[in-house]
Structure 1
Amino acid sequence: MTSSARGSRRAAMSPTTGRDRLPGRRPVESPGAGNAVMERLQEVGVLTRVVEQGLSGALGINATDLAAMEHLTTDGPLTAKDLADRLRVSTAASTHIVDRLEKAGHIVRRPHPTDRRKVMVEPVAESMDRLFGHLRPLLRGVEGLVEALAPRDRDVVEAFLAGVVQVYTDTADSFPQG
């Protein structure tokens, strides 16, 4: 393949997924087009979903169940109600999610330590090991990038990302729940 053929081939590839675009089709112009930082954030968003799809498939669960596992991993054991709140679904939907995860061997139900009317949902260690086994290369790669930053640059990146998190939080809070 000649270098000009490779160049034209690249032009037909999506920068986010590396997959072919349809011939003669251009991507929809996004509001951040032309702004390299906005374009990189868009790529991170798209690739995050690609990784989530891969993780879901590897764990044999759907995207909502994976989101539940993420909350349990981040926040520790939760009640089904707390999980419903974090997922922005009804408690009935949360119960179905917990049922599926339990059946798949990813979580266990345990009595609440102080309120016997409640049940805590917690991830199974073996399931967490599988999850982090798949995520380890990504986490190490990002950690390496962070460690390579000068302290001042790290502070700038952290402040920027904190602002992005706040914008995402505000946007998420603007949508109706459940």
Structure 2
Amino acid sequence: MPDREDTEAPSASYWYRADDDEVVRAMRVLEALRRFRAADSAMRHRTQAEMDMNETDLLAIRHLISAEARGAAVSPKDLSKVLGVSSAATAKLLSRLVGSGHIRREPHPSDRRAQVLHATPGAHQEVRATLSAMHGRMLDVAEGLTGAQQKAVIHFLDTLSAAVSSPDVAPRAPGAGPAPTLDR
């Protein structure tokens, strides 16, 4: 995507002053992040439509695949916690995904009363077919950055994640000078 720094002025903002070059540059960064989030959301909706699944179903399958890659077992209770849904919602989700052939349940190896969940080979194949090209393009973009750029992006995203995850931080008044950094 072309560099928009010189071609687009940031839109008028309710939250920030647009008469300071530093603020304008920061607004451009946040606007680029919003464009990425919109593109990411559209990609997720396309993926869900292609796989004929809702967001929670896809998150469950991706979590199981990731856990399998790490050699970790996942129980229905674990999945409920990861997805942030009730045990009843998880039971419905599992019935749906077992019925569609995406997940299989097995008895836990040491506790026969418990279950371990696995993504089926068909689910692995469907996820690869649907997502591998997009993941390849994303990796190409990340590999195209210099080491310093990669570190800067990681720092920015981690710091921004911390900023939006902290509900107890006092709001910054518009035009109140530079924001404090959240260095670790």
TM value normalised by structure 1: 0.71
1:39 maps to a residue whose letter is E
CA distance 1:75–1:165, shift in 2 (3 Å): farther
Q: How many angstroms does 1:103 deviate by?
A: 0.7
Q: How many angstroms does 1:82 deviate by?
A: 0.7
Instruction: Give the SS at the match of 1:78.
Output: coil
Separation of aligned partners in 2, 1:138 and 1:170? 31
Question: Is 1:143 matched with 2:139?
Answer: yes
1:158 maps to a residue whose letter is I
TM value normalised by structure 2: 0.69
Gaps of 5+ in 2: 1-10, 19-23, 168-184
- Alpha-carbon contact 2:80-2:87 (below 8 Å) kept: yes
- Alpha-carbon contact 1:79-1:118 (below 8 Å) kept: yes
Question: Is 1:123 matched with 2:115?
Answer: no
Instruction: Give the SS at the match of 2:117.
Output: strand
Indicate which of 148, 151, 154 corresponds to 2:150: 154
Separation of aligned partners in 1, 2:76 and 2:163? 27
User: Which deviations, in whole Å up to 9, do the C-alpha atoms of 1:76-110 show, x marking residues without a partner?
Assistant: 34111111111111011101101111111111101
Query: Which residue is 1:40 aligned to?
Result: 32
Choose between structure 1 and 2 for higher RCO, CA contacts under 8 A separated by at least 6 residues.
2
Aligned identity (percent) is: 26
Root-mean-square deviation (Å) = 2.5
Question: Is 1:69 matched with 2:65?
Answer: no
Q: How many angstroms does 1:170 deviate by?
A: 5.2
Question: Is 1:58 matched with 2:61?
Answer: no
Separation of aligned partners in 1, 2:145 and 2:109? 43
Separation of aligned partners in 1, 2:114 and 2:82? 17
Indicate which of 76, 86, 95 corresponds to 1:90: 86
Aligned length: 145
Indicate which of 110, 122, 129 corresponds to 1:114: 110
Q: How many angstroms does 1:122 deviate by?
A: 1.1
CA distance 1:72–1:148, shift in 2 (3 Å): same
Separation of aligned partners in 1, 2:117 and 2:15? 41
